[in-house]
A = this chain, B = another copy of it.
Amino acid sequence: MNIAINEIIKNYESDNEKTLNNLAKLLNFGKLGGTGRLIIYPVDQGFEHGPDRSFSINPEAYDPHYHISFAIDAGMSAFAAPLGMIESGFSTFAEKIPFILKCNSSNSLTSIKDQAITGNVKDALRLNCIGVGFTIYPGSEFNFKLIEEACTLFRKAKEAGLITVLWSYARGNMSKKGETAINIISYAAHMACLCGAHVIKVKLPTSYIEEDATKDAFVKNNIKIDTAVDRVKLIKKSCFNGKRIVVFSGGEAKNDNELFDEVKAIKEGGGNGSIVGRNCFQRPRDKALKLINSIINIYKD
């Protein structure tokens, strides 16, 4: 194992060998393997937003194989998806890319800020996954339930040698703008670490500070949050002073250049990488490959 990866892995002080091996698999796979950076390809948008809203712009994307094959060809670090999608490509793509089983999902047919558990550790093991993913909604009226479900899942996952990825999205008890506010995302990221996640997934925060009891600290203690780099640094700090892997999903980027700027900020701020879904499968395959290639090159630079 190279030194960069070793540095990251040794921060996971309580995990068993199997889990650390799976973490190493994640960090050593794909074109960013060995760099300490990673890029995960998630496809749960069919659940969250519906198949047509997600895939009709690029109809090949209705096919699960399209996605897994794309993730492999693009040199991504891992493929994350709900149960049915991973089942669908299980034997065709066995051992060709690390799978992460997304174990709960919401949908847009309902407005309840909760999620349904669709997968568990047994499923993840059956499907040869390296880990499990889960979403919590800090601030939602279901936040305690979701946190408990995450911790229960993660306990079993670690016991079974799997890694754990926590999508931490603040919802409910805040303004819409507040969902991506720097103080909120920082809080949500820290909570994810305390829940014992190996990898924390948050949205790239804005410089907006939600009006709440945590706001004062930003002013009084001069926390730097003006640039995206500053904000990525703060999130990494909130994640056990950088001891946990943090990946970011798209912020306010409107076009590819803005997206690249975000990636550069993640890199410079010490973020571990990106999780990119819609920006890939909602454009033609060749263009998506090019996009990911550019992102990878930024991280590798």
Of B46, B63, B143, B186, which is within 8 A of A51 by CB?
B186
Give chain B residues whose Cβ lies under 8 Å from the Cβ of A112.
141, 143-144
Taking CB as reference atom, which chain B residue is nearest A237? B62
User: Which residue of chain B lies nearest to A215 when distances are taken between CB atoms in the complex?
Assistant: B53
Residues of B within 8 A of A138 (CB): 107, 109-110
A183 touches B64 (CB 8 A): no
Contact indicator B83/A110 (Cβ below 8 Å)? no
Interface 1/0 per residue, A111-139 and B, CB below 8 Å: 11011111110110011000000000011
For chain A residues 25-64, which have a beta carbon within 8 Å of chain B?
Answer: 44, 46-47, 49-53, 56-57, 59, 62-64
A272 in contact (CB, < 8 A): no
Whether the pair B213, A49 counts as a contact (CB closer than 8 A) is yes
Contacts of A213 in B (CB 8 A): 49-50, 53, 108
Judge whether A223 and B52 touch: CB under 8 Å: yes
Q: A195-B84, A238-B62 are in contact. Are A90 and B13 (CB under 8 A)?
A: yes
Contact of A13 among B89, B105, B114, B122 (CB under 8 A): B89
Minimum CB–CB distance for A181 against chain B, Å? 11
Which residues of A in the span 52-104 have a Cβ within 8 Å of any Cβ on B? 52-53, 56-57, 59, 62-66, 82-92
A51-B118 CB under 8 A given contacts A108-B212, A110-B173, A243-B64: no
Contact string, A207-232, partner B, CB cutoff 8 A, digits 1/0? 00000111011101101000000000
Given A109-B143, A112-B141, A118-B195, A183-B11 contact (CB < 8 Å): no
Question: Which of A147-155, A245-253, A256-264, A291-299 lies at the binding interface?
Answer: A147-155
Instruction: Give the residues in chain B near A265, CB-CB below 8 Å.
Output: none
Q: Say yes or no: is A24 at the interface (Cβ < 8 Å to chain B).
A: no
Please state if A141 and B195 are interface contacts (CB–CB under 8 Å).
no
Contact yes or no, A50 B116, CB < 8 A: no
Whether the Cβ atoms of A151 and B243 lie closer than 8 Å is no
Please give the residue numbers on chain A whose beta carbons come within 8 Å of chain B beta carbons, in ascending order.
11-15, 44, 46-47, 49-53, 56-57, 59, 62-66, 82-92, 105-112, 114-120, 122-123, 126-127, 138-141, 143-145, 147-148, 151, 155, 170, 172-174, 183-184, 186-191, 193-197, 212-214, 216-218, 220-221, 223, 234, 237-238, 240-241, 243-244
- 14 new A-B contacts, CB < 8 A, other than A13-B92, A85-B193, are A11-B88, A12-B87, A14-B87, A14-B90, A47-B191, A52-B186, A53-B214, A56-B221, A64-B241, A65-B241, A88-B243, A109-B212, A117-B151, A118-B194
